[in-house]
Amino acid sequence: MTTKSSFLTNSRLFSSLRYLFLAAFIMGYGWGYRGTVGHEAGAMVPGALLGIAVALGSFRRDWHQRAAVAGLMGACGWAWGGSFSYMEQTFYVLSDSFIDVFYGYTMLFFLGALWAGIGAGVLVLAFTEPRSRLEQLVRVFAVICAVFLVVYFFTLLMPAPREALETLTVRRFHNTDWFSASLVLFTSLIHAVLVKRDRPASLLFFTCALAWWIGYLSLTYFGGIRLAPLHRSESWSGILGVLIVLVCYAIKTKNRAALMLMAYGILGGGLAFSLAVFLRHPLVVQWGPFQGAWPQWRFAEDTFGFFMGAAIAMGMLRLEREHLAPPTEDTKRTPLDVFAVFVILVALPWVNFRRHAAPWLTKFAESHTDKTTLFPLWMGYVFLGVLATLPVVYGLHLYLRGNRRFVPASPFGKGAAVALTLTWVTVAGYTYHDPISPTNLLGHMLLWIPAAAASLLLMSYIPSAETLPTDSTNPVRLPSDPGWKVGKTYALTWAFVPVLLVGMTVLSMAMQEGPIEGMGRKRFGVDAYWRQTARLLGTWQALGTVSRIGEVPVAQTNVPVSTVTFGENRSVQVTLSSGEKSEGHTWFFKNQYIWVRWKIAGKLQEEPLQFSKDFLYVICPADWLKVGYLVLKKTENDSSL
């Protein structure tokens, strides 16, 4: 009896560890890939892979049957966080100030908690909601995507409106996804009015979009709370509103299982972001044995995903081990499954692979300025993409009509085929984007190794071990069961978080000698970047030109520029000595410097601005100044703050 009990315990431990590592590795790969394409569409890849992995990694046939749907929900859930910026916070941890380093780690924790909290809140719907309810949500989602697609093609074909929208977004709305939130708001409201059967789902989308606006307006637009520099997105405040809506929705529907998984996501996502940047720190500062050039950001991205995937898997493991009731299958599975696979294997590659083609399109344009080619290269990429897509679309069409000859027989096999295809197709896409060379080999290994590890772990499962969550001694527990609580260990982990953040701060500062040149940045004190911004705003008088920063100009009468005005909306207006106004320029913050982006005759030129005492030194376009720096001084009636 003891031997049998020991065997069962070891078997249970092995299956749990395999489940955790499967989710960790597949999310680690997905997040590393997301770093190459960025934004919301990029974040959908790790979300999709994680959703499929946590469904297939269980021994529950009902979860296997929802693997594709879980991938779709994971993709949608993790897409939200792709709209906000967290790179800025990593610069704070490279300063030499305790408060700035601590602030950086704390904000990373906050942003990671937001991202994974929403991801978990949407993912869990695949395991707790009736299929008919999910179909309602997906129909609204499809309508919104159709509207987005129409707007995308309109702005693609009409560059003037696109440029006006981008300018408005940067200057008035903190570079956020305000336009997307508005499209969701109005589209879901119209859909709710026109399509009665989808009204509850439409109103959920509408409420999320409304909450996005409330969060953004109250905290950032009017509240003035900014976490990023002026050239990066402040969508975090809107995303916080969406997370609150998802929590309220789970409370309203008494989905305590969803609340529990969101709690795991919030804590796990926060720890993942802060720990990943801390573990990256020795590579950045080249501490101890970590000398030379390392793919330090790829390492951080992989680690983000690894820890976040493991945290979500821990919550899902509880739902499996404690017998979450099977979700209600009250409609046919095929339509929703086919749509989910279409999004994962067709839509996601299309929206992300354009970024893999972009470097080659640029190189081709630079090397073929004579325009002698029969067809533009982008047309060739589109044609090849259509050819690659047709078999997938036709196969889904056959599957929808009942022809299953080309797909695995078991639900596990179907889900595994989707996960493996998405994994290795995206690996191939990135390899084409950035071909392997001696200089980037380590970066590629940080993608290939977790992808291979996740694939091997997934292939090690035995589909014949599928079970249902019911037996005579362990009855199922509904999502509304009061027993779905996080427990004491979870509370103790939260209590340990401040200690961990302080510890990482102290250790990070101990690894380096002063701020990292070109990367370290401060949020507080006289050298804070926002103080530099405040100093910049206003009108500056041109005094003359010099050859080096720090030189005081001699009064000159032939200076081509009279004044330069830097606006709070990041606009730069230049008054030439002739009295002519030159507009369309912008300023922004990159690394530790303020930069100006000149726009002359449709061409862009970016140059850093340098403060020295009471003067501002700037390199102007060659049309105004051939060599040297233009020296500016703040006008007396517009002194710095």
Give me the residue spans of the domains in the chain. Answer: 14-124+255-511, 141-254, 529-638
Which of the two residues, 547 and 2, has the higher pLDDT score? Answer: 547
Cβ-Cβ contacts under 8 Å for 295 (sequence gap 6 or more): 440, 442, 443, 446
The pLDDT value given to residue 293: 82
pLDDT in tens, 531-577: 777 788 889 988 888 888 888 777 666 788 889 998 877 789 999 88
- Tokens of residue 333, six digits: 């599975």
**DSSP labels for 494-563?**
HHHHHHHHHHHHHHHHHHSSSPPTTT---SSSTT-HHHHHHHH-EEEEEEEEESSTTPPPPP-S--SEEE
Q: Report how far Cα 608 is from the mean position of its chain's Cα atoms.
A: 27
461 versus 272: the higher-pLDDT residue is 272
Angle made by CA atoms 167, 171, 174, in degrees to the nearest 5? 110
pTM for this prediction = 0.86
DSSP 8-state code for residue 38: -
5 has pLDDT over 50: no
How large is the average pLDDT for residues 315-335?
A: 94
Q: pLDDT tens digit string along 7-64?
A: 445 677 888 899 999 999 999 999 999 988 888 899 999 999 999 999 999 989 999 9
Task: Using the predicted structure, report yes or no on whether residue 488 has a pLDDT greater than 50.
Answer: yes
Give yes or no for a contact between 67 and 54, defined as CB atoms under 8 angstroms apart: no
| Lookup: tokens for 631 | 């020296």
| pLDDT given for residue 465 in this prediction | 54
- On the question of pLDDT at 1 being above 60, the answer is no
- In the predicted structure, residue 621 carries a pLDDT above the cut 90: no
More confident residue, 469 or 184: 184
pLDDT at 168: 83
pLDDT tens-digit map of 460-482: 987 655 555 555 456 789 999 99
At residue 342 the predicted structure's pLDDT band, cuts being 50, 70 and 90, is very high
pLDDT band for position 371 (50/70/90)? low
Q: Say what the pLDDT of residue 557 is.
A: 67
pLDDT above 80 (res 368): no
Instruction: Phi first, then psi: give them for residue 625, nearest 5 degrees.
Output: -145, 120
- For the segment 327-340, what is each residue's pLDDT rounded down to a tens digit? 999 999 999 999 99
**Residue 487 pLDDT:** 86
- State how far the Cα of 532 lies from the Cα of 534, in Å rounded to an integer: 5
pLDDT band at 639 (very low <50, low <70, confident <90, very high): very low
- Please tell me the predicted confidence (pLDDT) of residue 610: 83
pLDDT of res. 592: 56
CA–CA separation, 253 vs 137, rounded Å? 15
3 DSSP β-pair partners: none
User: Helix, strand, or coil here: 94?
Assistant: coil
Amino acid 4: pLDDT: 47
Q: How many CB atoms lie within 10 A of CB 489?
A: 8
The first and second tokens of residue 283, run together, are 């590579």
Other CB atoms within 10 A of residue 50 CB: 33
pLDDT in the model for residue 429: 92
For 261, residues 6+ apart whose C-beta sits below 8 A from its C-beta are: 120, 121, 123, 124, 312, 315, 316, 319
Q: How far apart are CA 569 and CA 581, in angstroms?
A: 18
Helix and strand totals (H; E) in the chain = 21, 8
Question: What average pLDDT score do residues 186-192 get?
Answer: 97
- Least confident interval from 87-96, 225-234, 236-245, 309-318: 225-234
Residue 157 has pLDDT above 80, yes or no: yes
Per-residue model confidence (pLDDT) at position 586:
87
CA 619 centroid distance within chain: 34
Q: What is the pLDDT of residue 628?
A: 83
Buried b (16+ CB within 10 A) or exposed e, 345-362: bbbbbebbbbbbbeeeee
pLDDT at 118 over 90: yes
- DSSP assigned state of 85: -
Q: What is the pLDDT of residues 54-74, one digit of tens each?
A: 999 998 999 999 999 999 999
Strand partners, 571: 586
Per-residue pLDDT, 637:
58
Question: What's the distance, CA 515 to chain centroid?
Answer: 27
Residue with tokens 């940067």: 170
> Mapping DSSP to helix (H, G, I), strand (E, B) and coil, where does residue 276 land?
helix
Asked if CATH classification 2.40.128 holds for the domain at 529-638, the reply, yes or no, is: yes
Relative orientation angle of helices 2-37 and 296-321, to the nearest 10 degrees: 140
Structure tokens at 230: 């002026």
The tokens of 23 are what?
């989710």
**In one letter, which amino acid is 349?**
P
